[in-house]
Amino acid sequence: MEQNERIRCLIIGSGPAGYTAAIYASRANLSPVLYEGMQPGGQLTTTSEVENFPGYPEGISGMDMMEDLKKQAARFGADIRRGIATAADFSTHPYRITIEGEKVVEADTVIISTGASAKYLGLPDEAKYAGLGVSACATCDGFFYRKKIVAVVGGGDTACEEAEYLSHLASKVYLIVRKNYLRASNIMQKRVFDNPNIEILFETQTEGLFGENGVEGAHLVKGKGTDHEERYDLPIDGFFLAIGHKPNTDIFKGSIELDENGYIVTRPYTTETNVPGVFAAGDVADPRYRQAITAAASGCKAAIDAERYLVNNNL
**Which of 9, 108, 125, 137 is labelled catalytic?**
137
Judge whether 140 counts as a catalytic residue: yes
Strand partners, 109: 9
Interface positions with ligand NDP (CB under 6 A) = 121, 153-159, 161, 178-179, 183, 243-244, 287
**Could you tell me the smallest distance in angstroms from the CB atom of residue 130 to ligand NDP?**
17
The DSSP 8-state label assigned to residue 265 in this structure reads P
Dihedrals φ, ψ of 102, to 5°?
-125, -75
Measured from the CB atom, the residue of 67 and 157 that comes closer to ligand NDP is: 157
Determine contact, residues 278/270, Cβ cutoff 8 Å.
no
Work out whether the CA dihedral 131, 133, 136, 141 comes out positive or negative.
positive
**Could you tell me the smallest distance in angstroms from the CB atom of residue 154 to ligand NDP?**
4
Distance CA(271)–CA(267), nearest Å, equals 7
**Could you tell me the smallest distance in angstroms from the CB atom of residue 160 to ligand NDP?**
8
Judge whether 141 counts as a catalytic residue: yes
**Which of 108, 125, 140, 237 is labelled catalytic?**
140
Measured from the CB atom, the residue of 24 and 240 that comes closer to ligand NDP is: 240
**Could you tell me the smallest distance in angstroms from the CB atom of residue 238 to ligand NDP?**
17
Using alpha carbons, select from 125, 106, 141 the residue that is nearest to residue 206: 125
The single-letter code of the amino acid at 74 is: A
Distance CA(34)–CA(38), nearest Å, equals 13
Judge whether 137 counts as a catalytic residue: yes
Determine contact, residues 220/234, Cβ cutoff 8 Å.
yes
**Which of 141, 237, 283, 305 is labelled catalytic?**
141
Distance CA(138)–CA(92), nearest Å, equals 42
Query: Active-site residue numbers?
Result: 137, 140-141
